[in-house]
Amino acid sequence: MDRVILHSDCNCFYASVEMLHHPELDGKPLAVGGDPEQRHGIILTANYIAKRAGVKTGSALWQARQACPGLIIVPPRMDLYLRFSELARSIYRDYSDLVEPYGLDECWIDCTQSGECLGSGPELAAEISGRIRRELGITVSIGVSWNKIFAKFGSDYKKPDAITVIDRENYQDIVWKSPVKDLLFVGRATERKLLRFGIPTIGDLAGTDPAFLQSVFGKMGLVLSAFARGEDRTPVSAYGSGSPVKSIGNSTTTPRDLTTEEDVRMVVYMLSESVASRLRSHGLAGDVVEIYVRDNDLSGFMRQHKIGIPTNISEEIAQEGMRLFRQHYRWERPIRSIGIRVSHLREESFPYQLNIFTDPVWREKQLKADIAVDEIRSRFGFQAVRRGLMHVDCELSADDAQTHVVHPHGYFEKGNRTGVR
């Protein structure tokens, strides 16, 4: 028997919540974004009036105002959005204990068992949608399918306040005829490659030889092939069963575009200090370093490398981040944001073997210096002690990187359940 999976997506979530608290702005274009002076944040979300005027999520604030001169931008209030997110999830949990968040505003809900006594997938979707509207004052779009990927596709297919059923009878007419970019995990770079090989639709992707896709994209090619064919079997996790911290990372949108390697180095070191400090506070170290770069055209890439020796030392993390940057970035455009992440974590006391090129004395000195900096900053603030590098450009280094720490969790954390081996 097929599963009954719902994917509920709150429409223009942050903006919708703000509209509830600003009824005087009804009928006006509104967006939630960051500080226009510091450029911290780009547009996080916008209401449909603003979107119809050309305001796009992820665009710079000046770009949004250029597209919509009358745009009203309000700062984000995460505590408020977190409260509404939890209220929505509480409603979802009335229908299933298998509720898996995908960000603050989206959740998968496995109603396979509850559907037997509460109603069919579309009936449950209609009931949930009505409750969200009545009890929270916002709307959701819900996709209903037999797998998580097509349920997610369904919630994106019609907005706002819509329910879309993707079943075995209609998926080829709906999903397969859609652009390949509409499939989860097909980003801009992947889309460009697929188009180059004459694969413009999800149906074309489904019909492409998986071996060819593997040769182009590696294992992810097989995953995308399975997704396109509706063969995703990844389970919906029970609510609150989040896995332990898998990685610790930090990213920032810079106050100005980065145009030189020295600019990048300053931001990478600032972020690496934050990541290393957080690792130490958890008693963890990791041996995979990843860098994320996005240019001012909002195109980006991620690259990672296993360094062999687990680390929570800022200098080692920064050096590897810069090595990855030099190896992979070609300076086609100025850079707008950068992120650093360390994964494959373990207890920092876990034994490991040094190689012959490692200087243990140097590592010990670097670690002690980091710990001393942690202690000073905990007493006197982040700006109390800084690297000399940070004084080269006080505008770039003015940010307190500690406030951007995130613990990202990915779709595949519980293993690849798509049927791909």
Q: What is the CATH number of the domain that holds 130?
A: 3.30.70.270
- Name the residue with tokens 């992440």: 341
**Which of 203, 222, 242 corresponds to the end of one domain?**
242
Across the chain, mean pLDDT equals: 87
Cβ within 8 Å of residue 394, ≥6 positions away? none
- Name the residue with tokens 């449950």: 124
Together in a domain, 201 and 108: no
DSSP string, 356-415: TT--HHHHHHHHHHHHHHHHHHHHH-GGGS--GGGGS-HHHHTS-GGGGEE----TTTT-
Is the CB of residue 421 less than 8 Å from the CB of residue 210? Answer: no
* Least confident stretch, 222-231, 260-269, 337-346, 412-421: 412-421
Is the CB of residue 89 less than 8 Å from the CB of residue 101? Answer: yes
User: What does the pLDDT read at residue 95?
Assistant: 95
Mean of pLDDT values over 35-49: 74
Together in a domain, 2 and 132: yes
Q: How far is CA 32 from CA 23, 57, 61, 67, 139, in A?
A: 15, 9, 10, 15, 17
Mean of pLDDT values over 188-196: 91
**Which of 242, 274, 300 corresponds to the end of one domain?**
242
Together in a domain, 283 and 386: yes
**For the domain that residue 199 is a member of, what is the CATH number?**
1.10.150.20
Closest by CA to 183, choosing from 236, 142, 221, is: 221
For residue 252, name the pLDDT band (cuts at 50, 70, 90): confident
Tell me how many domains the chain contains: 3
Range of the domain at 352: 247-406
Together in a domain, 7 and 143: yes
Q: How far is CA 21 from the centre of its chain?
A: 27
Mean of pLDDT values over 132-156: 97
For residue 417, name the pLDDT band (cuts at 50, 70, 90): very low
Q: Which two tokens stand for residue 397?
A: 């280094």
**For the domain that residue 312 is a member of, what is the CATH number?**
3.30.1490.100
Task: Note the pLDDT tens digit of each residue in 316-374.
Answer: 999 999 999 999 998 888 998 899 999 988 888 777 777 777 788 898 999 999 999 98
Q: Read off φ and ψ for residue 373, nearest 5 degrees.
A: -65, -40
Together in a domain, 291 and 363: yes
User: What does the pLDDT read at residue 395?
Assistant: 65
DSSP 132: I
Together in a domain, 52 and 181: no
Whether 418 is in a domain gets the answer no
126: enclosing H helix or E strand = helix 121-131
**Which of 167, 195, 223 corresponds to the end of one domain?**
167
Could you give the percent of the chain with pLDDT greater than 90?
Answer: 61
Together in a domain, 10 and 79: yes
Cβ within 8 Å of residue 155, ≥6 positions away? 7, 8, 9, 106, 140, 141, 142, 143, 164
Annotated catalytic, 106? yes
Closest by CA to 398, choosing from 252, 213, 218, is: 252
In angstroms, rounded to a whole number, what is the distance separating the alpha carbons of residues 175 and 184?
Answer: 12
Whether 105 is in a domain gets the answer yes
Together in a domain, 219 and 262: no
- Burial-class residue 274 by CB neighbours within 10 Å (0-12, 13-18, 19+): buried
Together in a domain, 158 and 226: no
pLDDT: which is higher, 336 or 166 = 166
Whether 417 is in a domain gets the answer no
Q: Which of 18, 24, 37, 106 is catalytic?
A: 106
pLDDT: which is higher, 227 or 301 = 227
User: What does the pLDDT read at residue 242?
Assistant: 55
Closest by CA to 55, choosing from 32, 78, 79, is: 32
Together in a domain, 312 and 344: yes
Mean of pLDDT values over 201-213: 97
Q: Encode burial over 150-165: b for 16+ CB neighbours within 10 A, e otherwise.
A: bbbbbbbbebeebbbb
Whether 321 is in a domain gets the answer yes
Together in a domain, 41 and 149: yes
In angstroms, rounded to a whole number, what is the distance separating the alpha carbons of residues 230 and 233?
Answer: 9
Q: Which two tokens stand for residue 206?
A: 């489904």
Task: Note the pLDDT tens digit of each residue in 291-300.
Answer: 999 888 777 7
User: What does the pLDDT read at residue 35?
Assistant: 63
